[in-house]
Structure formats: structure tokens, C-alpha cells
Structure 1
Amino acid sequence: MTKPNKLDEPEKLGTPEILAAIADGLGDWRRMAQPVVARYRVPGIEQGAAFLTAVAEAARAAGREPEIRLGAGFAEVTLCTVGADGGRWVTPADLDLARTVSDLAAAHALPATPGDITQLELGLDATDFDRVGAFWSALLTGSPDHVVHGDVMDPAQRVPNVWFQRTDAHETPRQRWHPDLWLAPEEAEPRIRAALAAGGELVVRYDASCTVLADPEGNRVCVCTAEGRE
């Protein structure tokens, strides 16, 4: 796994621009919370390694450092740029490399599986973001200094991001943690239906970008997509 790209002043693209690019020739890719991600089915480790070697060479030539993963039956490429303040954004350079990656996947005859792309973030109700943020940053990343725009983001991307949702002070017990599960837009509805069929409850559907579910004991989770976001 490599580090995201770093720029002092990245040219940040909004989600509508990214979704337009996906609709216009980047169908392998899906927008998650911060990055864009593509995932491909590979017949074996050799074919996957050959593809990702080609991706690494193209990225080096472009001066980029994607995050790449290779496992049983899949190869995955994640693209984003890290700003001077630690924020993660998608830039035109990321989309340029995404097009190259898609071309390489086609050349290696690897089918894209965008419905398999996911990202898990953790949301925590809190009254004092600064105090709890430093704690969770130190615990999860080894340093209290990895709080970026109010979210805990591990530079090595070993653990899910943690973000904080403001709440009034209250006595425990009460659910304070909830997962945010990011999915490809076309995968959200099937996943929601499966969860409901397995005993879940629909709490609220805000729009295509966020649906809140609860498990049979009332624990909540947000199912998120990039649709409708800025």
C-alpha cells in the first residue's frame, strides 16, 4: 500500500464533477467519502500482480502514488490527493490517472466490479470534538496530531476514518457510535433490502445519499453514497 499524493494547493473537484466524469468514460470507478476507487476481478495472483505493476509504472510516470490492493480474486486501486492541511480530495490529476488505470485493466482483460467497492467510516456522537478527537487519533494512529478538519484520518490508512457528530451532553447508556457504510450507488438499494430482510428497520431515508437503518436491537448505521452530494 502506498501513500496518497500530496500537493500544497490541490485543485479540488466537487462530487458533481466527479460523478460527471464517472458517467463520461470512468464507469469502472465509484466515488466514496474522500477517494475514487476501482476494483477488478482477477483470475489469479500473477495476472493481478502484472496489472498492478503496470498501474504502478503509469503512476510513477505521472508523479502519483495510488493505494493499491491485491487479494484472492481482486485488484483494487484507490486515488486521492492529500492537501497541505491533511485533507483528502480528488483532483483532475487523479481522474487522469483513473482513465489510464481503466485502459490498463481493459488491456489486461480484467472486468470491473464497481458493486464490490465499499468504504467504512465510524461516526461518534460527542460534545467536545477537540478532546475526543485527540484521544481517538492517539489510540488509532499512534499520534494525537492526525485530526484533519475535525476527523481522525490515519496517514497510513490502516483503520477507518472517525468523524464526530455534535450531540448534547447525556448520561450513558446510549448508542454513541455508528458506522457509515459507503457503497456504489447501484449497490445501496440491494444492500438495504438485504439488511431489512434480515431483521433490520428503516429509520429514515434522507435521499439517495444517506439512509439510516437499525438492527433488531436498535443500533443504527448509515448507508451512504455519493449521489446528491456537493
Structure 2
Amino acid sequence: MDKLTSTQILDAGLNDWRQLAQGIHARFRTGSFTAGLRFVTAVTEAAEAANHHPDVTLTYPHVDLKLISHDVGALTQRDVDLARAISSIAHEQGLTPQPGALAEVELALDTAALADAGPFWAALLTGDARNVSGDDVVDPSGRVPLLWFQGTDAHETPRQRFHLDVWVPHDVADARIAAAVAAGGTVVDDAQAPSFTVLADGEGNRACVCTVLSR
């Protein structure tokens, strides 16, 4: 199947879904674990009929879904078709879409020696040094990275090599940036917006708010 561009995904009118760094994502509020299980069961039947399967996370009180055509490493028409089918199931079951709650985090490391750094970080993060694809370390299990804060004394800000890429729906980016600024952050560089906007916290640690637009 042909790979779809971000513009084609936007034009498809998938109102419940948003494209982030990898694939299209949706969250539906179920209100209970039982309702979530009923929804996932119906989605499973639709996925089996389409011979195309989403990644599904069932929690209380919502269900998260991700669609991508893994065989081509991109979005295709079958993702659009299944997304529409899933939204139809959610509507029939009275579930509420929550696209504004979606986000995806990527860790980024500046390096001039990818050939050396890639296998090391793949081995450290996934247990297998072979989990490098192009410029990416790929975790087959799809686990989300954890961000934690370690207490330290004040010091001169060093040259930063790690930063967070926080992927959000394109129509949430402005609000997310405003919230970060209101919480004490600053906009360092918005020359590439809406593709990405560079922010910094009060100590100068940087992160990028990213969307699929203008890429």
C-alpha cells in the first residue's frame, strides 16, 4: 500500500485521532474497566475482519490505541479505514474521544558518533545492541520512557546533549506551549513552528514541542 502523507491524514477527517511521532493515536474515555473491555473486544473483532491490528492499552477509565502499518513503517489507507471503524464502534457504545489528552515522548541525544553511540544505547535501553534502525534506537516492546528528577546543587549550565521531544496533536501544541511558559518556562526558538518549538525550563534545560505539521 502507498504511504500517506501528514496532509492526507489530516484531510481524511479522523476527528478522534491525531498523528504523532509514530502512527495515529486515539484515546476513548470508557468510565469503567468493564466498558473498556467491551470496547476492546469489539475493536478486536473489527481488526480481525480487516486483518490489521492496532496497539491497544486498556486501563481504567480509558482505552488508548495506536495505528501504523508496520510492514511499510508508515501510515496507509488501511490505518485510515480501521481508525474510522474504531471510531464508529466507540460512537455506538457512547464513548468519549479525548484527542487533547494524547502525547508521545522521544528522548534525543546529540552525537557526532552514531555508529558508536547507537549500539550502546540500544543495548542499554532494550537489552539488544542490534535494535538500531537508521538514526533511531527501536524498542520492540514499545515501552514509554520515564522522566525523573534528581536533586542537585546549583551549577553552571553545561552544553546540553540530551533533550525531550514531546509530540502532541497539532491542535494542542499552542496550549501546551502556553502552559509550559505559564509554569516558568521560556520559548527559546519558534522559527520552525509548528513543526517544533524549543522551550527551556528555569535552569535552561531544553525540550521541543513537536507536531506533524510543516514536515
- Point out where structure 1 has 5 or more consecutive residues left out of the alignment: 1-9, 161-171
- Point out where structure 2 has 5 or more consecutive residues left out of the alignment: 146-156
**C-alpha distance after superposition, 1:175-220 (max 9, x if no partner):** 1100000111221111111111111111011221211000000000
Kept in 2, the 8 Å contact 1:212–1:223? The answer is yes
Q: Does 1:79 align with 2:70?
A: no
2:212 aligned counterpart, secondary structure? coil
Kept in 1, the 8 Å contact 2:23–2:67? The answer is yes
Paired with 1:82 and 1:131, the residues of 2 have a C-alpha distance of 27
Segment of structure 1 superposing worse, 70-79 or 26-35: 70-79
1:16 aligned counterpart, secondary structure? helix
* Aligned sequence identity (%): 45
Report the count of equivalent residues: 203
Q: Does 1:51 align with 2:32?
A: no
Equivalences for residues 93-112 of structure 1 within 5 A = 93-112=78-97
Correspondence for 1:193: 178
Correspondence for 1:14: 5
Equivalences for residues 126-165 of structure 1 within 5 A = 126-160=111-145
RMSD of aligned Cα (Å): 1.5
Correspondence for 1:66: 54
2:213 is matched by which residue type in structure 1? E
Correspondence for 1:41: 29
Segment of structure 1 superposing worse, 102-111 or 186-195: 186-195
Segment of structure 1 superposing worse, 90-99 or 172-181: 172-181
1:186 aligned counterpart, secondary structure? coil
Correspondence for 1:221: 207
Segment of structure 1 superposing worse, 66-75 or 212-221: 66-75
**TM-score (normalised: structure 1):** 0.84
How far apart are residue 75 of structure 1 and its match? 0.8
Higher normalized strand content (fraction of residues): 1
Segment of structure 1 superposing worse, 147-156 or 29-38: 147-156
Moved over 6 A (4+): none
**TM-score (normalised: structure 2):** 0.90
Q: Does 1:183 align with 2:189?
A: no
